[in-house]
Amino acid sequence: MRTIGLLLLAGAALAQEPVATMKQLMVDMIYPASNDILLVVNRGGPSDEKEWTAVRRSAMTLAESGNLLMMRGRARDQGDWMKDAKMLVDAGTAAYKAAEARDTNALARLTEQLDASCTTCHKQYRSNVFPRP
């Protein structure tokens, strides 16, 4: 029985290793999800059930992507990196709640929070994108 428990623990530890690269997360998950939300908001908000569903899906993707950024093997440090990733979790979670409530105004108010969650991190960790003075 103890052997099975140890194997399960070992399997859980292995399952927590990153699969995608940071670039893949950004290009294939985070950027498209944030862009989808911002485009819908810029058009005045979701207009039908299909768009609300897409916003909910994108919002959840952002929230969970923040968690993925905090995984061992991805987190660059335990300070600013974790704070910035938490900002993405918070923005995605708030967007999900706004979409669940079908609250176009709340969704629109979140665009600055969503943008800040990306640019704050990029300014610190992507100096080629946001050169430091």
Any idea where the domains of the chain sit in the sequence? Answer: 20-125
- Determine the CATH number of domain 20-125: 1.20.120
Tell me what the pLDDT averaged over the chain comes to.
Answer: 87
Q: What is the pLDDT of residues 7-62, one digit of tens each?
A: 455 555 555 778 888 899 999 999 999 999 999 999 999 999 999 999 999 999 99
Mean pLDDT for 80-99 is 96
Q: Which amino acid is at 21?
A: T
CA-based end-to-end distance of the chain: 59
The residue among 18, 129, 121 whose CA lies nearest residue 77 is: 121
User: Whole-model pTM?
Assistant: 0.82
The band of 6, judged by pLDDT with boundaries at 50, 70 and 90, is very low
Residue 100 DSSP label: H
User: According to the model, what pLDDT value does residue 90 have?
Assistant: 97
